[in-house]
Amino acid sequence: MNIDHIEAFLYVVHYKSIHKAANALFLSQPTVTARIKSLERELGVELFYRDGRSVSVSEKGKDFLPFATQIVQTFQQGKKQLEETQETDEVCIGANGVTAQYFLAYALPKWKEQFPYLRFQLFTGSTTNILEKLQSHQIHLGFIQYVHGDDIENELLLNNTVKLVKHRDHPLQLDELIQAKELAQQKMVFFECGAFDWNYVHKMFEVEGVAANIEVRTDHLEVAKEFIRTKDYLSFLPHLCIKKELESGEFVEIDVKHLLDMNQHIFLTYKEKETLPSSFWQTICETAKHFESIGDTY
């Protein structure tokens, strides 16, 4: 039994006219007539009395009406339930710029390999902005700092500790632990990003009564790295963005843990997991572990 034929029957009963029912269904009048006749043949009864252009529901039609109504309602309820529980094929992700550029650029192609039917939409912004999008259901998940919020879940995903680095050919010698006063004599390029609390860096110098020799300020990571490549500058940079350079030996970390320890972490943040495949969440965590373990060997 065709649900479209039953629906046509209900519309004709409601409008008491095949012409009006056809308009409401955005169908031609012959199409609705054909559907009614097909349903009548299947049921073996006449559902309407016809008198010229006018139609009225027959006694058999009246008997069938409550069953037809129930069939269509049940179908529509089932369809709605499937739509509500169906796993989405588009994943909306929010992340700060560092995570998007360095981790997601690595991770998304791998997720696509395992889940080829998924499509990804990426939003970048501040932690506050990403949290707002999560709470308003504009995104499924975020890669940001730890946040508090109603029904918000945070899972530790990546270590993004801020490191002080130099080029391997920079003249600064690292035979002993460096002191703040010595650092203050070095030229620095300062990467400014809202995702990190740079007040800790300034406080490190203030405690020693010195000021950092910041010659350049930039909000662009790659610009900061290019200044380091001149072999004249030092810079505090997030670990995610310099993994490749540290692994290759191009950049060298300067140990300042005795002066400053800026532990920054990236959390997988979300409200609901049910909207995405359970295996996808596991893949996110596995990809993050692999990303950290291989030293960014893309």
Span 170-201, pLDDT tens digits: 999 888 889 999 999 999 999 876 555 567 78
Q: Is the pLDDT of residue 297 over 80?
A: no
What's the pLDDT tens digit per position in 278-293?
Answer: 899 999 999 999 988 8
Does 162-254 carry CATH code 3.40.190.10?
Answer: yes
Q: Please name the residue ranges forming H helices in the chain.
A: 3-15, 18-25, 29-43, 59-85, 97-99, 105-114, 127-135, 180-183, 199-207, 221-228, 239-248, 278-293
Predicted pLDDT at 193: 64
Outline where 208-277 has alpha helix (H). Answer: 221-228, 239-248
- Using one digit for the tens of pLDDT, what is the confidence trace for 88-144? 588 999 998 889 988 999 999 999 999 988 899 999 988 889 999 998 889 999 999
CATH 3.40.190.10 fits 90-159+264-293, yes or no: yes
Strand partners, 51: 54
Judged against a pLDDT cut of 80, whether residue 83 lies above it is answered with no
Q: Name the β-bridge partners of 48.
A: 57
Compute CA 73 distance to the chain's CA centroid, rounded to the nearest angstrom.
35
The predicted structure's pLDDT at residue 82: 66
CA torsion 9-12-18-21 (nearest 10°) is -100
**What is the tens place of the pLDDT at every residue in 226-236?**
999 999 999 99
CATH 1.10.10.10 range(s) for the chain read 3-85
Rg, Å, the chain Cα set: 32
Range(s) of the chain covered by CATH 3.40.190.10: 90-159+264-293, 162-254
Q: The pTM is what? A: 0.60
Mean pLDDT of the chain: 88
At the top level of CATH, which class does the domain 3-85 belong to?
A: mainly alpha
What is the mean predicted confidence (pLDDT) over 45-57? 89
Read off the tokens for 186. 């070095």
